[in-house]
Structures are given as structure tokens and as C-alpha cells.
Amino acid sequence: MNKTFKCFLVALLTVAAYYVVSAGVVGYQALVLKGQVKSLVNDIHRGATVNYENRETAKIDKSIIDLNSTLTNPFWRPLTNHFLKDATSEIVLALQLVKVAPSVMGSQSPKKYLLVFQNSAESRGTGGIIGAYAEIQVYHGTVTVLRQGSNVGLKSLNEIPIAMPDEYNNLWGSDPAIWQNSNESPHYPYAARIWSALWQKQFNEKLDGVFATDPEALSYLLNAIGPVTLASGEIIDSANVVSKTLSTAYQRFVTDNSARKQYLVNVMKAVIQKVMAGGYSKINLMRQLQTPLLDNRILFSLADPGDQAAIAPTLVSGVVSSAPNNEFRVVVVNTSGNKLDYYLTKETKIQSLSCKVPITRVTETITNTLTSSKGLPDYVVGRLDLKQSKVPTIESTASGASI
């Protein structure tokens, strides 16, 4: 055995030993945490007392903090990079969710939530226009679907039914009184408050929170739970859910928009049923949801002020902070009423031009990749805000614009 090979073998064994020890430490802490969470969930199902819940959540908090110490230690970081995209954000999220978990799961009383399925083919500040929705009730951790539908069944008003801050009114006016425009602002709690108020006006029900997601997030979810089969026999999986819901559905139901909206509802129903049925790895589910969580594709707002304050520092709250920081956001809102945003690519470039006097240039390049409108209805490529009955046919190369 020559010297070079010996050195290589020693190095290889050293790396292997490092990963084995690292995996052992992290794995043990994760196993303890998993057991504690499972115990809390089971006890919520059985109707645990508030005092018991507080003791269990305190134990889980300590376990998360211990795990965080390991995950953020530079010595372990090469390993944890394989499992967590942003350890700091995800640990903060975990710590805050533990605080609100018993309440959200309806441990002491039934909780009603609105689940909003955002259609990102028509952009809004929080992601996309409302396409479909479901009202769910959670009691002792058991989920019941109360009603489901498309935005067709949601009634709009002429004025926003609740008081909004002046800065909001100056930007958006009364447009958000319409369900389809109620999430123009990128600050998600605003959208949730308006949705909750519109819902209460129509159904005389007070919601305990509003959850929002989109087809891209569903693709990651389907990676974890597996494909779903619609009543028609069509299979929806992680590879096709985005294109089917945001693109091909418009060609498929070109003459029947109501049928297309019902198709979105059917997809959402099938996914919810699969999630509720279980039979999939919860660890893999959380691993798959990392990306949409970090991309702000999974958002929720809670009616309880204490619970909302707990989740406010996390990504899932969708809060746009008014405090000065080093954060930049580019918000795209499609005001034309078409569904072209599926074909847009967006690139954000941030440049620091000066350090003495902080000057930053933010450049957003938006490119329309649609080269032909053949087979697409005016509903997709037109200007519904101008009530155009016919639009020019698009036959060109992709073009981009910077702002």
C-alpha cells in the first residue's frame, strides 16, 4: 500500500467517522424531540389539560434549543447543511410553533380556519389571486372539512368591511373589498384580516385563522405524500400539479371557466383527503416543506393576538416589517386580470453602490417566456380590466423588461 493511498484512506476514514458521530448526536437529539412532539399530539387528541400542555411544550422548547446548539455549531455545520436550508429561520419557526401548537390544534375548544389556494398565474402581493378555498375545523387535533369551493361562491363588497391603516388605504383604496383583490398588499396579516371580515359578513362565522398556499407548495407536499387520483381517474403528482393548475387547465376548459374552477377545487379536495388519511413519513413531509416555507409559499395568520404575536417573527406570518433592516422585496401585482404570470420569469439583482452613505440599487428583470398565444383564451392573454373581447395573437420571441 503506497503512502498516497494510505493518506487518502486515513482522510476517508476520518471523514466517515466525523459523519457517523455527527449523525449519531443529531439523530439522538432529533429522536428525543420526535418522541416529545408525538406524545404532545397524542395527549391533545385525548384532551390534555392546559397545565400538562404547558409542561410538555416547555420540554420541547428545551429540546429544540439543545438541537439548535448542535445544528449551528461550526463543527457540525457540514452535516446539517444536508438537512436544513436555513437552520436559524427553521429553528425560530419551530420554537414559535411549539408555543401556539396546542391552541392551533384546538386542544381546549374547536378552531375554524380558512385555507386559501392562491392562483399564482395572476399575481397578488401575497402570491396569487384566490382560486379555491376550504373551511376546516380542528378539535383535539382532529381535522374536519366543513365546506369547499371556488372564488365563484365568495361574495364581495363595495367597501372593506374593517378599518385599515391610512398607509394601506392610500395605496390600495377600496379594491381589496373584492375577494380577488383582497391580497394586493404583500403584508399577509392585512389580507387575512380582510378575508376573515368578508367571510364573517357572508357566512356569519368568526374564523380563528387563515392559511394560504399555492400550486408550487403543493408540488413539494405531493413529493412527500405521493400522487393523488381525481374522481375522473386523472393522476396529479409533484411533477404536473403546477402546469396542470396554472397552464393546461385554461386550454382544457377554454369554453367553460366554471368547470376549470371546479377542477382546481377537485385537486385541492384530493390533496386534503390524502393528507388527512396519513400513511406517509412525517419527517419527509417536513423536509419537503422547507423550500416552500422559506419561499413564503405557506402563510398563516391567527386571530388570537397572543398566538399571532408568537408567529410574527417567523416566515409563515408573511409580515412585512416596518422597522429599518437590510431587507428588500419586489412585489408583482397583475392588475390586468389575465393569467400570464405563469409564463413570467423574475430575477432580482441587489447592488450596494455606496457604503459611506448607504445606496442600494435593486433591479428586477421580468421576462415573458410565452412565444405563442395559440390555443389560449382571451381570459389568459387579454386585458380583462379593459374588457377587451379580443386580443392580438402573440407570435414572437420572449422579451424582458427591467424595473
**The pLDDT value given to residue 27:** 59
**The pLDDT value given to residue 73:** 63
Which cell is 279 given?
A: 400513511
Greatest alpha-carbon pair distance for the chain in Å reads 83
Asked if 184 and 176 touch (Cβ cutoff 8 Å), the reply is yes
Look at 205 and 352; give whichever has higher pLDDT.
Answer: 205
What does the alpha-carbon distance between residue 126 and residue 156 come to, in Å, rounded to a whole number?
Answer: 19
Per-residue DSSP letters for 11-76? Answer: HHHHHHHHHHHHHHHHHHHHHHHHHHHHHHHHHHHTT--HHHHHHHHHHHHHHHHHHHHHHTSTTT
**The pLDDT value given to residue 81:** 58
Handedness of CA 191, 221, 225, 59 (dihedral sign): negative
Asked which of 77-91, 174-188, 258-272 is least confident by mean pLDDT, the reply is 77-91
Listed residue (246, 235, 234, 241) closest to 220, CA to CA: 241
Mean model confidence pLDDT for the chain: 81
Sequence-ordered alpha helix ranges (H) in 173-256? 188-203, 215-225, 241-243, 249-252
**The pLDDT value given to residue 378:** 81
From the CB of residue 363, how many other CB atoms can be counted at a distance below 10 Å?
12
Beta-bridge mates of residue 142: 139
**The pLDDT value given to residue 17:** 38
Look at 200 and 394; give whichever has higher pLDDT.
Answer: 200
**The pLDDT value given to residue 397:** 44
**The pLDDT value given to residue 21:** 41
Residue 390 pLDDT class (50, 70, 90 cuts): low
Listed residue (65, 68, 72, 82) closest to 23, CA to CA: 82
Beta-bridge mates of residue 359: 354
Which cell is 378 given?
A: 382571451
**The pLDDT value given to residue 80:** 58
Residue 384 pLDDT class (50, 70, 90 cuts): confident
Q: What is the arithmetic mean of pLDDT over 281-300?
A: 86
User: Which helix H or strand E contains 90, and what residues bound it?
Assistant: helix 87-104
Which cell is 285 given?
A: 413531509
Asked if 129 and 118 touch (Cβ cutoff 8 Å), the reply is yes
* pLDDT surpasses 60 at 276: yes
pLDDT in tens, 178-194: 998 999 999 999 999 99
Listed residue (225, 234, 213) closest to 275, CA to CA: 225
Asked if 117 and 131 touch (Cβ cutoff 8 Å), the reply is yes
pLDDT in tens, 207-262: 999 999 999 999 999 999 999 999 999 999 999 999 999 999 998 998 888 899 99
Listed residue (343, 401, 335) closest to 376, CA to CA: 343
**The pLDDT value given to residue 58:** 77
Q: What is the arithmetic mean of pLDDT over 141-156?
A: 91
Handedness of CA 329, 335, 337, 342 (dihedral sign): negative
**The pLDDT value given to residue 313:** 86
* pLDDT surpasses 50 at 162: yes
Amino acid at position 318, single letter: G
pLDDT in tens, 19-72: 334 445 555 556 666 676 777 777 777 776 777 777 777 777 777 766 666 666
The CA–CA distances, whole Å, from 314 to 317, 352, 397 equal: 6, 26, 41
Listed residue (189, 121, 205, 194) closest to 157, CA to CA: 194
Dihedral, 376, 380, 381, 384 alpha carbons, nearest 10: 140
**For cell 383582497, what's the residue?**
182
Residue 6 pLDDT class (50, 70, 90 cuts): very low
**The pLDDT value given to residue 242:** 96
Which cell is 68 given?
A: 439548535
Asked if 126 and 212 touch (Cβ cutoff 8 Å), the reply is yes
Residue 105 pLDDT class (50, 70, 90 cuts): confident
3-state helix, strand, coil in the chain (%, to 5): 50, 15, 35
**The pLDDT value given to residue 89:** 63
**The pLDDT value given to residue 52:** 72
**The pLDDT value given to residue 15:** 38
* pLDDT surpasses 90 at 132: yes
Q: What is the arithmetic mean of pLDDT over 369-383?
A: 83
**The pLDDT value given to residue 10:** 39
**The pLDDT value given to residue 161:** 92
**The pLDDT value given to residue 22:** 43
Per-residue DSSP letters for 296-308? Answer: T-SEEEESSHHHH
**The pLDDT value given to residue 326:** 74
**The pLDDT value given to residue 28:** 57
At residue 364, the 3 state secondary structure works out as: strand
Amino acid at position 378, single letter: D
Listed residue (87, 135, 143) closest to 115, CA to CA: 135
Residue 359 pLDDT class (50, 70, 90 cuts): confident
* pLDDT surpasses 80 at 91: no
Whole-prediction pTM value?
Answer: 0.81
Percent of the chain with pLDDT over 70: 79
Listed residue (265, 271, 268) closest to 149, CA to CA: 265
